[in-house]
Amino acid sequence: MSLSKRSLYVLWDESHLWGVMLIRALRQLRLPFKIITSEDIKTGILACDFPAGLIIPGGWAKLKARNLTEQGLENIRGYVGKGGRYLGFCGGAGLALQGTSSFPGLNLCRWGRKPFQERLPNFSGHVYCKIDPQLSLPAQYKDNVLIPVWWPSQFQHDHTNEPIQVLISYSTPGPDFWSSDLNLSQISEQDLSTWESIYKINLNPQLISGEPCLIKGSYGQGQYYLSYAHLETPESPQANTILFHLLMTILGNNHPQSSLMPELIHWDLRNFVPVWNNTVLLRFKKGLDNVIKTSQSQFLLFWRNSWLLGWRRGVPGSPINFLYSMICQALSTLPGPDAELFWEQCEQEFSSVTNTFLDQLLDYLSHERLAMAMAPSSPECSSNKELQKQKIMLFGKFPGYGGLYKKLIRILDGLILRQFQEEDRTR
């Protein structure tokens, strides 16, 4: 791939599944991009190369900020201020919002995040949305466009004179829309009120009706696009088309592919066939297959679509999904010299941790099933104190992550980064 200032840069750090999903989408859309890290940004890559756009995938915004440090955050602000374009998805959008005393954001946008008590805190699936004509999409992209969201925050409007344009706004739930672990297509409004009293969180999707989903604004001489929707979601054709046109706008609409929307973005984990015959990684995948199968029989996990698990409230389905998707991604490519060297240095630790992790995870899930029958659990805490200790040992404290999971996900993250970079050097 020939890189120039007309390329897109993608920040890899603290994205995991969302970073993999975005890179896969950019490849399938056949757009020019380069993967960079927080270290690259801190050492001035944005000022040296000045890309057409900087894309920040989803993930924990606070962890991204911590990796960047104030130096990296300032370098991003400098890049946008001098005419750069910033595109953030979900956690990448949150990173660009107004910071707080506990969270040093980029402050590109004057808006903040809506307080937990005022928003719909745990929703996912597709939402029918309204599209502003400024996106310059085909005529059919006006109303009732299905846009995917995966547990986003929400924008808190700042009633100032800052000109912020709402390019996409939420309307009504789509056919696969969930609040927490409730499929709203099967829940009456009256029953939803009862569920709210049980879960003690907002569940009614009316809270997002008319709320902004994708916004655009200016910072210095540059622009930012902040999206709580994951437009890179596989098999979401309307969202994928919007992503393509948005990226073409950032690239300047002069790329050879500008008039041709490539094929539908896809990713099928359930029918995955490994390319790399690595014993340790294959053994871990087989172990996770067993965890998923066992959890399905216990009504704790299920497949929502080809790449995404669903789970009962309180079950750590998200980190299990992250590990499974990243194992599949790592096994989908033969490693080059850099990836091989990295893996040689980490293989023994990874193998040792996986053995403990899989045994403890199966034990935890079987006992959590019993605990849930006696009292409800939540994403923050198991209803059983001893199980909560085991959960923290496995996954760390929510929000964020830690425990054995942190060791595994960071090794996979480093391996996949090197695999992607090696592939891009040969393209």
- Please give the domain boundaries of the chain with CATH numbers for all domains: 8-251 (3.40.50.880), 279-425 (no CATH)
- pLDDT band for position 125 (cuts 50, 70, 90): very high
- pLDDT band for position 126 (cuts 50, 70, 90): very high
* Residue of higher predicted confidence among 161 and 303: 303
Mean pLDDT computed over 307-313? 95
* Residue of higher predicted confidence among 257 and 210: 210
Asked if the model's pLDDT at residue 151 lies above 60, the reply is: yes
Cα(first)–Cα(last) distance of the chain, in Å? 5
214-241 burial string, b = 16+ CB within 10 Å, else e?
bbbbbbeebbbbbbbbbbbbbebebbbb
Residue 1 has a pLDDT of: 34
- pLDDT band for position 253 (cuts 50, 70, 90): low
Lowest pLDDT segment from 57-71, 135-149, 292-306, 411-425? 135-149
Lowest pLDDT segment from 99-103, 186-190, 216-220? 99-103
Which run of H or of E encompasses 246? helix 237-251
Lowest pLDDT segment from 45-54, 247-256, 351-360? 247-256
Distance CA 373, CA 418 (A): 44
Coil, helix or strand for 412? helix
pLDDT > 70: what percent of the chain?
93
Asked if the model's pLDDT at residue 371 lies above 90, the reply is: no
The whole-model pTM stands at 0.93
- pLDDT band for position 4 (cuts 50, 70, 90): very low
pLDDT > 90: what percent of the chain?
77
Alpha helix (H) ranges present in 304-384?
Answer: 317-331, 337-374
- Which residue type, as a one-letter code, is found at position 43? T
Asked if the model's pLDDT at residue 425 lies above 50, the reply is: yes
Asked if the model's pLDDT at residue 370 lies above 90, the reply is: no
Residue 259 has a pLDDT of: 52
Asked if the model's pLDDT at residue 26 lies above 60, the reply is: yes
Mean pLDDT computed over 294-305? 95
pLDDT in tens, 260-271: 666 678 999 999
Which run of H or of E encompasses 295? helix 279-297
